[in-house]
Amino acid sequence: MNDPLQKEAPDDAPGSKAQPRQRYVLDDTGFNEVPKKYRKFYRKFGGPGDTLAPNEVLCPVCMVVVRSSRELRPGDRVYCMPCFSRLIVIECNGRLEARPVY
């Protein structure tokens, strides 16, 4: 499987001109719909006033926020465990969104 978040991407290489991805420390948010091991990667969406961090994207299927330990960029793939959806991150209107991959 070729997953860009699991290995060092070419833009993270020391000699590249692109900015390296930021890393984030994730804490448990109390999201109890997935096994305890994976709870830090998900949180409930807070509604219209909720702003997403650069390492978060909203699942359009179940409206759960999927979190990553690295900054997300367009083209990245994420997995929503609560609804079993595979998502691809895209940029739309200046913000990151997720689209299901069928």
pLDDT in tens, the chain (102 residues): 455 555 555 555 555 567 888 898 998 888 899 999 999 999 999 888 888 999 999 999 999 999 999 999 999 999 999 999 999 999 988 888 999 997
According to the model, what pLDDT value does residue 79 have? 94
The pLDDT score that the predictor gives to residue 82 is 93
User: What is the model's pTM?
Assistant: 0.78
Residue 11 near residue 70 (C-beta atoms within 8 A):
no
DSSP code at position 63: -
Best CA proximity match to 54, nearest among 90, 99, 18, 95: 95
Residue ranges per structural domain of the chain: 21-100
